[in-house]
Structure 1
């Protein structure tokens, strides 16, 4: 079992829980690999009909563990981020997200690849890539403007504006905003309902709703731009400032 991750399957639903609550479920390289492996296994297991992604504790996901970025382009290039994105974006079955507390960086962009999203009223969604000297990832440079419009997406990326769960639902980033303790039950209920549907029809519908070629192109463009930005002085300065804030006093 991957440290920081729980994977459980019951009644046709695989639940992937980010289980690093002391770090607000920031994703390590090992966790990326574990999620990729869990999704790959679920994709080929006929008994699995849907997947739920949730966070342990108060928060959904505080994004990428920033130490990986600080290690530079080569570390990111050889990491499990690529396999994770391939498994997530190419997953043929429904993915349901249960979002409470903080969703930061990839904690937001992964939602663009989920088929249903349930979010807490008081959740906070933020995409601080530019403040780190980086660019949006996971195809979000294309997908987020398509979902909510250019001006609002640009404000989230460039100004670092935050969305509440209620705002995310109003903009179409989530299906419903709920009380925090109702989010995971709602996601599980939806996943179980999907698991009862004809699997081939669900898979065919998901394929029809996604432009696979455009998505692959967006992922590739984001990745190349992201790797270039890792080598810029702005990114180096942002990581150094972050490390200084985290240093023991």
Structure 2
């Protein structure tokens, strides 16, 4: 697979590594990056030689979330289409998806983990669901998936306060599988991916499909409704003021 802007794809044996490659912006995701990531995942689904996919960032940052400068001027839902395309694909992605998290995992950096099959995070990892701080609402079906994972009251705390939490908290909440030593998340994630890749691809994909099937339609429905609500929030005066304050920091 070819390298694309701000996204690097590298295949090692039967594992594809997709790396966020925008360190100067703390790997903040632009609309173009969403499009590239979606395309990379779709291509991975079609390649029989790829049995598992690992998502990673740089050694110091997974992703600081969305590149807000690329979204502040959204005038219609069409402007958010690259985002929605990825969010609708993630729960339906057929092959094992493993995340290797270092440093910041903010916004989408946390919510996309809810769609991964395994998550390895190092001790430096910091997670946050900061949507409320920007006068926005949850995304990526997090309003549905998070309560199922951590319980209603804890999900309410994370989404309504929008505060950061560390890797130990993420482990206790079962958002991640394992805490790795500093800078070792990718190494351990690749070990897991290679073990999975050594097993029957058909059996692995069927196992994943069976795990996802009971809530798949609900996840898709919530994702679409959240996206509509998110766009409505972006148009509000409160969100515009919050974004202006953010850019002045």
Provide the TM-score with structure 2 as the length reference: 0.94
Aligned runs of 1:186-201 on 2, under 5 Å?
186-201=188-203
1:225 equivalent among 225, 229, 232: 229
Structure 2: gaps of 5 or more residues: none
In the other structure, the counterpart of 1:81 is 83
**Separation of aligned partners in 1, 2:32 and 2:160:** 30
Aligned runs of 1:1-249 on 2, under 5 Å?
1-74=3-76, 77-210=79-212, 211-245=215-249
**Separation of aligned partners in 2, 1:209 and 1:174:** 17
Q: CA offsets, 1:107-139, max 9 Å, x none?
A: 000000000000112311001101101101000
Shift of 1:240: 1.4
Q: CA offsets, 1:70-105, max 9 Å, x none?
A: 113427635411222223221101000001101000
> CA separation of 1:76/1:237 partners in 2, compared to 1, >3 Å: closer, same or farther?
farther
Contact 2:119 2:189 in 1 (8 A): yes
> CA separation of 1:221/1:79 partners in 2, compared to 1, >3 Å: closer, same or farther?
closer
- The alignment partner of 1:70 has SS state of coil
Contact 1:2 1:30 in 2 (8 A): no
Q: What number of residue pairs does the alignment pair up?
A: 245
Contact 1:122 1:166 in 2 (8 A): no
> CA separation of 1:169/1:78 partners in 2, compared to 1, >3 Å: closer, same or farther?
closer
Structure 1: gaps of 5 or more residues: none
Contact 1:12 1:50 in 2 (8 A): yes
**Separation of aligned partners in 2, 1:188 and 1:73:** 40
**Separation of aligned partners in 1, 2:91 and 2:152:** 22
- The alignment partner of 1:60 has SS state of strand
> CA separation of 1:78/1:129 partners in 2, compared to 1, >3 Å: closer, same or farther?
closer
**Separation of aligned partners in 2, 1:78 and 1:129:** 16
Superposition CA RMSD, Å: 1.3
**Separation of aligned partners in 1, 2:82 and 2:123:** 32
Provide the TM-score with structure 1 as the length reference: 0.94
